[in-house]
Amino acid sequence: MTVQASARAVTARSAIMRAAERLYATEGFAGVSIRQIGEAAGQRNKSAVQYHFTSRDELVKAILAEHAEAMEVHRLAMMSRLGEPGAMSPRDRIRCVVLPHIEHHIDLGVPSWYGRFLAQVVVEPALREYAVSVHLERPSLRRLYDATREPGEPDPGRTARREAMTRVLIVHMCAELERDLAAGDTTAVGRDLAAGDATAASAATAWRRLGDDLVTAVCGLLGALRSDPR
Amino acid sequence: MTVQASARAVTARSAIMRAAERLYATEGFAGVSIRQIGEAAGQRNKSAVQYHFTSRDELVKAILAEHAEAMEVHRLAMMSRLGEPGAMSPRDRIRCVVLPHIEHHIDLGVPSWYGRFLAQVVVEPALREYAVSVHLERPSLRRLYDATREPGEPDPGRTARREAMTRVLIVHMCAELERDLAAGDTTAVGRDLAAGDATAASAATAWRRLGDDLVTAVCGLLGALRSDPR
């Protein structure tokens, strides 16, 4: 491939990924064909999506990988500031789990599509296992979760459940705020955001507030489950 | 319609609804056509699903309505035992929110499909608003949530967020346990369930344990958000 052809391929791949996440976020997997994605991405060749990605699932995995990389940059930066997971406060560990999602959404701007896209991927039977294992269980995340496990905790079922609850809250609450912001709905983002005032700054405020609420909620949830005598 | 024809229509509708929730749960909305649902339900007429339900969305709404009714029976029975929501303990109110989902899943047996079906419905753009407003915001549920709101709480955004977090945890954690039970995966249901031992009794135990964990988690989460100075 020449340098120009290679650059064109990168541009086409990127246009297809952006069109796919936007269309899937707003129309659902069942409402969008591979051909519609190619058209929305400005590809004249009807087989462009198959050419660049082979299948819907490979396209989805490429989108997930790109976002996971971007989020990982935020997480590793936070972790290098805060030190080893074992030496962090429980709240700081949860911050490192939750806030990279928030910072990534702030980077994406308004409207974004990734939150609603991810919420659909994690319940899609053909994709959820990939999404959970590769995207949401990065090594950095595993170190954080492992550090929250206490020595006398033998029940693997309950450990898995706590992590699943944390993941479910992050993924689906981010999707809900993204939807509200895209729709210009400000009731769910807090009373100090006046209607129509979804500027980048107030969107960032709404995201950070969600991040704080998620950190507080997850800490409360984990503490309650831990002290439950069961 | 004669009595016999009417009985046949009820049987056909029911067969279509059961086939639809099973196929959607395992293959996703994008993986299943209306015609496949008719075939799986044993309908010879290729237009049977359209005839009985007009569209996919109406079919989905009929399935949701049926389950919502069954769950409401459990909730109203619990509430009549426990008295007015305002007089209940906070934990009992959360029990009345969470446990009807658990009892309904126990009634459905193993394997069931409704949990994974609902998890997909609530993130499907064309269906989620209907699912959230009609299915998950029944009057009984509203009375329970309203009773948890404290007098000096003016922030409607935060109230909506707490309810969304509760809903997200219930819907998606029930879908995860349903998936594990259907797959015979016992690691996530607790260490005292031996592999292959997913009998009705041990499934009921796993569901009740999830119910207890959800009640504890939601109480912890709500308490933490309430005492957060923000």
The predicted-structure confidence for B109-127, as pLDDT tens digits, reads as follows 999 999 999 999 999 999 9
Chain B residues with beta carbon closer than 8 angstroms to that of A225 = 213, 216-217, 220
- Provide the pLDDT confidence category of residue A187 given band limits of 50, 70 and 90: low
Taking contacts as CB-CB distances below 8 angstroms, the residues of chain A near B124 are 28, 30, 120
Q: Does domain A56-227 have CATH number 1.10.357.10?
A: yes
d(C-alpha A110, C-alpha A206), whole Å: 11
- A87 secondary structure, DSSP code: G
Q: Which residues of A41-55 are buried (b: 16+ CB within 10 A; e: fewer)?
A: bebeeeebbbebbee
Distance from C-alpha of A86 to C-alpha of A137, rounded to nearest angstrom: 18
**Average pLDDT value for chain A:** 89
Q: Cβ of A28 and B124 within 8 Å?
A: yes
- Which positions in chain B touch A157 (Cβ < 8 Å)? 187-191
Helices A156-182, B200-227: axis angle to 10 degrees equals: 60
- Out of A122-131, A188-197, B15-24, B169-178, which region has the weakest mean confidence (pLDDT)? A188-197
Domain ranges across chain B:
1-54, 56-227
Contact (CB, 8 A) for A17 and A109: no
Is A195 in the B-facing interface, judged by CB distances under 8 Å? no
Domain range A1-54, its CATH number among 2.60.40, 1.10.1420, 1.10.10, 1.10.1660:
1.10.10
Give the distance from residue B156's alpha carbon to the nearest chain A alpha carbon, in angstroms.
7
User: pLDDT tens-digit profile of A46-100?
Assistant: 999 999 999 999 999 999 999 999 999 999 999 999 999 999 999 999 999 999 9
pLDDT in tens, A11-58: 999 999 999 999 999 999 999 999 999 999 999 999 999 999 999 999
With 90 as the cut, is the pLDDT of residue B213 above it? yes
- What is the ipTM, given to two decimal places? 0.92
Decide if A1-54 and A56-227 have a common fold.
Answer: no
Distance from CA of A212 to the nearest CA of B (A): 9
